Amino acid sequence: MHKRQHDTIAVVDLGGPSAHLAATLIRRAHVFSEIRHPHEAPSAFAGVKGIVLAGTPTPNADAKNNADTDFDTASVTAPLRDLAVPILDLGTDGAAADDSPERAAQLANFALTTCGCAPTWTMDAYIDAQVLAIQQQKGDQSAFLLASGGADSNVAAQLLSRAIGGERLHLLHVDYGMIRKGESARVLEMYRDMGLDQHLHFVDASDAFLQ
């Protein structure tokens, strides 16, 4: 069985926004949650303490939330019900993201009481785990990252810097001609302020992109 660092609740995304919100509410109870695809084999759920079924297929779900809509919910979830873990079905009534105190309490009770999860997960613990994973993967190698200045690349840059050190991290920001005036200068200044400028590179490729 897959060894997990923290007790884990798997949230099966059946479509719509509710799966992502459910995963967030579970993590607020200091229990790790991960969003899983409805077509994953039951063996992929080995080691989880419980399963939450969230969402319902909608015509636009695949475009907005990367969940398939061409499946029968009952047939997809039936194999999961054979697993020896508790399952919470949030229903397929089409309710939009529910972040009410009642829903938060329901998910916390499911994770902590029904599934017996230990509330050991924190964002700091998650960051430490990601840093360790990067260190194990990269070894003594350097890393290259396209740095747009957006949230995802900023988090990735900070994790990489913490894991391998800024001297081994190469960042490249590209102006492709479709960003706001002065945006690249702002992004470069931001990375300098973050102390990520040891190997910070900039390319103005706007002419090439706009040809």
The amino acid that residue 131 corresponds to is V
Residue 15 binned pLDDT confidence (cut-offs 50, 70, 90)? confident
The more confident residue out of 194 and 55 is: 194
Q: Which of 4, 99, 94, 17 is nearest to 50 (CA)?
A: 4
- pLDDT for the residue numbered 63: 44
Cβ-based neighbours of 70, under 8 Å, separated by 6 or more: none
pLDDT at 27 over 90: yes
- Looking only at the bridges linking them, the beta strands covering 143-146 and 169-175 are parallel
Q: What is the largest CA-CA distance in the chain?
A: 60
pLDDT average, residue stretch 31-46? 93
- pLDDT for the residue numbered 62: 46
- Residues 128-151 have pLDDT tens digits of 989 999 999 999 999 999 999 999
- Residues 155-199 have pLDDT tens digits of 999 999 999 999 999 999 999 988 888 999 999 999 999 999 999
Structural domains for the chain: 8-114 (3.40.50), 123-210 (3.40.50.620)
Distance of alpha carbon 211 from alpha carbon 199, whole angstroms = 29
Contact 69, 61 (CB under 8 A): yes
The amino acid that residue 96 corresponds to is A
